Amino acid sequence: MAVTRRISGHRPKVILIALVLLSAVSLASGTRGRAVSDGVRTIVGVVSLPFLAAFDRVEGAYRYTTGLLTNYSDVRGENLAMSVHVAQLEQRVASAGELDSENRRLRKMLAFQRQHPEFTIVPAEVIQHARGVLTVDRGTFHGIKESMCVISPDGVIGMVSQVGPLTSSVATLQSPECRVDAMIKWNRVRGRVFGSGSDLSALCTIHYIDLADQIREGDEVVASPDSVFPPGYLVGRVVGQPKRGQMSQSASVMPAADPFRIDEVFILISANVDLRQYSATDAKAEAAVLVDARTAQERFAP
């Protein structure tokens, strides 16, 4: 037992000595040496087989890991390239959508000009919105003056409040500086539209409506013949029920043209409108129209 334990404890040394002895014997004897050599190779092969298998597995794992990292790097590069390509395509789509929207707006404005040859108008682009006031890219250099009307194909926008050489400020219907004489279209009830002065709501209010007059939700509100705007031009619609006071009633009005979303407007230089169709019941007004050759802005501007 003791000898066996010693051999077990020095197994590597014993195997090495045995291999050396067998090699020496193989060299010393011819045919027998071959048999011994074959036996040695067999033993070496058997002994080294687990090491070779382990090495092969390690090499395979290394190749797999290296290939995985390489593929990951390639896929990541392709993913980044695709992300850039997608971002470029999205930008092109957004630009195309914006151009299409602008094209539709410009076509609408062109159609409006053709449909209203009685208006002498100057197109202007809105370059700034702030507290119910628009800044447009037209000024005195383009023939713009204070108190000129500003409209859009959808309806009244406001009035020119300040003029510079190349730009002008427009007080919209939301501005307390803009007051428009208006009337209910279906029954010609007169009133005046005031702005709320709020950037949070587009609603305006029509005041000074007689208590005996009828006003309903959904009624169209248009410019009256007393206004600097072309009579009959759409201002907005009544929303909600009117509020009755002690001497008059008022109602909220949603403008037909939202100044918070407008990009292009028209500045009205003059309007050759026959006011008789809007004030036939007023003989004095009709006579004044017939003898007065001034533009609507010149006649009714404050």
pLDDT of residue 226: 87
Residues 6+ apart with CB under 8 A from 153: 108, 109, 111, 112
For 279-301, give the DSSP string: -TT-HHHHHHHHH--S-HHHHH-
How do 133-136 and 248-255 pair as beta strands? unpaired
The three-state DSSP-derived secondary structure of 91-102 is HHHHHHHHHHHH
Interval 203-210 mean pLDDT:
91
User: CB–CB of 206/163 below 8 Å?
Assistant: no
User: CB–CB of 218/236 below 8 Å?
Assistant: no
pLDDT of residue 119: 87
Interval 235-241 mean pLDDT:
93
pLDDT of residue 302: 46
pLDDT of residue 255: 92
227 phi and psi angles, rounded to 5 deg: -90, 160
Quote the mean pLDDT of the chain: 77
Question: In this structure, what DSSP letter does residue 230 have?
Answer: P
pLDDT of residue 178: 86
Q: Which CATH architecture fits 119-300?
A: Beta Barrel (2.40)
Does 16 have pLDDT greater than 90?
A: no
Q: Which is higher by pLDDT, 75 or 286?
A: 75
Portion of the chain with pLDDT greater than 70, in percent: 69
pLDDT level of residue 285 (50, 70, 90 thresholds): very low
Q: Which is higher by pLDDT, 119 or 18?
A: 119
Sequence spans of domains, the chain: 1-92, 119-300
Does 259 have pLDDT greater than 60?
A: yes
Over its C-alpha atoms, the chain yields an Rg (Å, rounded) of 46
How do 133-136 and 168-172 pair as beta strands? antiparallel
- 236: three-class secondary structure by DSSP: strand
Interval 172-181 mean pLDDT:
88
Does 190 have pLDDT greater than 80?
A: yes
User: Cα dihedral angle (187, 191, 192, 197), rounded to 10 degrees?
Assistant: -90
**Which tens digits make up the pLDDT trace of 261-274?**
888 999 999 877 65
Does 134 have pLDDT greater than 70?
A: yes
pLDDT of residue 43: 66
Q: Where are the beta strands (DSSP E) in the chain?
A: 119-130, 133-136, 149-151, 156-163, 168-172, 179-184, 190-195, 204-210, 220-223, 234-244, 248-255, 264-271
Q: Tokens 């300040």 map to which residue?
A: 162
pLDDT of residue 7: 54
* Orientation of helix 31-115 relative to helix 11-28, angle to 10°: 120
For 123-166, give the DSSP string: EEEEEEEETTEEEES--GGGT--TT-EEE-SSSEEEEEEEE-SS
**Which tens digits make up the pLDDT trace of 76-122?**
777 788 877 777 777 777 777 767 777 787 787 788 888 888 889 99
Q: Six-digit token pair at 294?
A: 């001034």
Task: Put residue 26 in one of left, alpha, beta given phi > 0 → left and psi -120 to 50 → alpha.
Answer: alpha
Least confident segment among 191-195, 202-206, 231-235, 293-297: 293-297
Whole-angstrom Cα distance, residue 264 to residue 125? 4
pLDDT of residue 300: 45
Q: Six-digit token pair at 138?
A: 């037209």
How distant is the alpha carbon of residue 56 from its chain centre?
59
Q: Which is higher by pLDDT, 18 or 157?
A: 157
**Which tens digits make up the pLDDT trace of 56-65?**
777 777 677 7
Does 1 have pLDDT greater than 60?
A: no
Whole-angstrom Cα distance, residue 302 to residue 298? 9
pLDDT of residue 197: 72
pLDDT of residue 236: 94
